[in-house]
Amino acid sequence: MLVIKNLVKKFGKSYALEGLNMELHKGELYGFVGPNGAGKTTTMKIIASLLSADSGEVWVNGIDALRYPRHVKEQIGYMPDFFGVYDNLDTQEYLSFYASIYGIVGNPAEKRIDELLELVNLREKKHDYVDELSRGMKQRLCLARTLLHQPKLLLLDEPASGLEPRARLELQGVLKNLCAQKVTILLSSHVLKDLSEMCTNLGIIESGKLVIEGPMKEIMAKQKAENPLVIKIMSGHDIAIKLLKEMPEVTNIASKEGSISFHFYGEESKEAELLTRLIANGVSIASYKREEGNLEEIFLRLTK
């Protein structure tokens, strides 16, 4: 659905994007993460034909986005990191305006608007003025706007910023629903916990380059394997420390409140051997587990 090859964008002498490569497949919910100024918004603006690229390729559903921006705009729904709403228009009129841009007028427009208001849970706000809606409602209204022309690719720049937990959950629900309908979503957010819960794929960008990309499950599993092991000791604490120090696969041993945590770099068989050895030497173990991985740790480890 979206292919980006060696995308370069410079602002003056500094590079915003430095040979970015990305690929999104149909129905994927791709979490696009990076520190401020890493190039997330620049990437989205180039895809949405709001910014020119210095070099590289951007293909949206088989269309060269850099050569045919007008054609690509039909395929894309872009939601920037600000609301951009008009005064003196109610929710329905606001959506009607954007629907008319895509040639959706009259009864089909009314039907589509009703469907979308239902989807984003704003049906009861149909005749409320846009500038009187809450932040979360405006956010959902903007999402409805991007969906009016049934785009194949959604570009959502920080859609959850400033939203309270309930509104974030509602937004998550809507996005998951859209993915189920085979809409491809490129979503940038700083709320990493949300991304790890709903995204199928993840890409972390740093200084205009992707530092990691792949299916969310794989990335999380890889991260989990690198997390420390934690054993809770009932008795034989000192023996356990001594035994662990003797093993070459074990590093970073830390002891805290009857628990010992350490990094283990070895195969699973070696891990089992370690446990057997501890028990055989009279160490009484209450629990043995690997610390759960989270996206924040991955993010902090891969970015500066």
Cβ distance 169 to 137 under 8 Å? no
Cβ distance 6 to 20 under 8 Å? yes
Out of 98, 176, 273, 285, the residue judged to bind another protein by CB under 8 A: 98
- The strands making up 284-290's β-sheet, listed across from edge to edge, are 250-256, 259-264, 229-235, 284-290
Site string for another protein, 187-226 (x = CB under 8 A): ----------------------------------------
Closest CA to 297 of 229, 232, 230, 219: 219
The DSSP H or E segment spanning 251 is: strand 250-256
Count of residues near another protein by CB under 8 A: 38
Min. distance of Cβ 67 from another protein in angstroms?
5
How many CB atoms sit inside 10 A of residue 111's CB?
Answer: 11
| Among 28-36, 82-90, 207-215, 221-229, the segment contacting another protein (CB under 8 A) | 82-90
Out of 2, 22, 29, 48, the residue judged to bind another protein by CB under 8 A: 48
Tokens found for residue 123: 């049906």
Residues 136-195 that bind another protein (CB under 8 A): 145, 149
CA distances from 90 to 93, 140, 174, 260 (A): 5, 14, 22, 60
Of 154 and 175, which CB lies nearer to another protein in the complex structure?
A: 154
Out of 12, 13, 62, 103, the residue judged to bind another protein by CB under 8 A: 103
Residues that bind another protein (CB under 8 A): 45, 48-53, 55-57, 66-70, 73-74, 76, 78, 80, 82-89, 93, 97-98, 100-103, 105, 145, 149
